[in-house]
Amino acid sequence: MQTKFKRGINVVALTVIILGILTFLQILSTRHPLRFDLTETKRYSLSEKSKKVLKLLNRPIKAIAFYGEKEFGRNEVEELLEEYRYNYPKFSYEFVDPVKNPAMVKKYNIQSHGTIVLEYKGRKEKVISREEEDLTNAILKLIREQKKIIYFLTGHGEKGIFNKCSKLREALESENYKVKELSLLREEKIPENASCLVIPGPEKNFFNNELQAIADYIKNGGKIVIMIDPYRCPSMEKFLVQYGIELDNDTIVDKTSKILGGEYLFPVVTKYESHPVTRNLNYASFFPIARSLKLKTKNEKNAEVEALAKTGKDAWGETNRKGLIEGKASFDKNKDIPGPLIIGAVASIPIQEKKKSAKLVVYGDSDFASNDYLEVSGNKDLILNTIGWLAEEESLISIRPREWGYTPIILSEKQSKILFWISVIILPLLVAGIGIGVLTYRKWKG
């Protein structure tokens, strides 16, 4: 009897201990929740950019979402807002039903359902979207009190911000930059308020006074990104040599690109050099019809030069332009440039009197930042990171939010052939063979 009593006491005590441990774990998980996103594209987590923007906040921020109780998209928005709250404890949110709360609708001047109002330090910003990128950009606008100005050069056949580079302009404006065009045929110099100058694919040569204005801007610590296509603008080729970057007169041929329909003239960059621009960039970038660059460590301006992006070793710089046009190009070890090839480079030019350095980024292609290719894989991140770094917004350089399931697969020509034979030839023949074998066996048995 006494033994049974002791066993009963032990069971009760053990039960109390277990319940106590479970209660403690429940309290701990409520106060310090841990969340794990095991999806390949991190579809249930905030992007690195959003996390960096949240780290810039130093006060409470509130989101007011105007959604009905059963309105489409409400659950999706609530999950997203919960991610912001999880990453920044001072982030709070509430849902307001526009039908039941007309006073709130009038107070915030809400014009449509699905609007999210963000409040921070007495300022407000509205978002009519369920996308993380739009919400993060709205927070960024609340943080920045002044917009930095990005100038795009015109007058030499460049891709303009209202036509071929309109999507890039919109992307920059969404990150709270002010984007303007600049013509050095009208202006004597580059404005002092320029955070960065973009020269997107000039077709024609520059006049001497224009090159001098650009040189003066660099001398004063300016920041420039130049995207220049093969066999274009010889005056810019000569200009860049003094800063340690030489533009080759070639067109990059990359066999890897044919699988993507690029006819070999679509160089792929899958690995980047170590640099703040590419630190978190894990997506491939594509450069339609590009030229290669060479770095001159000894140069007139004592610039420090380094590669930013390179092609694979299977690519080469084709110098036979006529043969390329006729589709007869092949690697000539005596004339062509073997890979891997530099397709993007950085030059840091010391400015002694100002105790700082000017920055110059050069890409051997401009189409990768155009409307047609900006959204392809890592292209958008690469150009926006480049401009952000030049505009001294390095803390915001990161990977932008992506659409779910966006995972491009890059196969070599050999891999594509193997895939073709396995999926199109071998597997169907194997299935057919098994079927014939089964039918033959049944007839033989029957």
Question: For the chain, which domains are there?
Answer: 48-143 (3.40.30.10), 149-396 (3.40.50.880)
Instruction: Give residues with Cβ within 8 angstroms of 404, minimum separation 6.
Output: 41, 43
In eight-state DSSP terms, residue 367 is G
**Rounded to an integer, what distance in angstroms lies between the CA atom of residue 391 and that of residue 383?**
12
Q: How much of the chain, in percent, has pLDDT values that exceed 70? A: 85
Evaluate if residue 258 carries a pLDDT over 80: no
Q: What is the pLDDT of residue 246?
A: 97
* pLDDT band with cut points at 50, 70 and 90 for residue 354: low
Least confident of 165-169, 180-184, 320-324: 320-324
Question: Cβ atoms within 10 A of the Cβ of 319, count?
Answer: 16
Task: Single out the residue of 126, 170, 340 nearest to residue 252, CA to CA.
Answer: 340
Nearest to 204 by CA among 181, 226, 228: 228
Query: Residue 50: enclosing H or E segment and its boundaries?
Result: helix 48-55
Task: Give the pLDDT score at 133.
Answer: 82
Cα–Cα distance for residue pair 222/208, rounded to 1 Å:
19
Beta bridge partners of 154: 183
Entry field: residues in the chain: 446
Half-sphere exposure of 96 (CA within 13 A, CB side): 21
What's the rounded mean pLDDT across residues 220-231? 96
40 vs 433 pLDDT, higher one? 433
| pLDDT mean across residues, the chain | 86
- pLDDT at 244 (0 to 100): 97
Contact status, residue 128 vs residue 114, Cβ threshold 8 Å: yes
pLDDT at 335 > cutoff 50: yes
405 has a pLDDT exceeding 70: no
What's the pTM value of the predicted model, to 2 decimals? 0.72
- If we measure between CA atoms, which residue out of 315, 328, 340 comes closest to residue 413? 315
Q: With bands split at pLDDT 50, 70 and 90, how would you rate the model's confidence at 266?
A: confident
Most confidently modeled of 10-24, 115-129, 291-305?
Answer: 291-305
Residues 54/57/60/62 CA torsion (nearest 10 deg): -50
What is the DSSP secondary structure assignment for residue 327, as one 8-state letter? T
DSSP structure class, residue 371: T
Residue 406: pLDDT band (50, 70, 90) is very low
DSSP H or E stretch at residue 9: helix 2-31
What the block records as the tokens of 181 is 């065009």
pLDDT at residue 42, as a whole number: 47
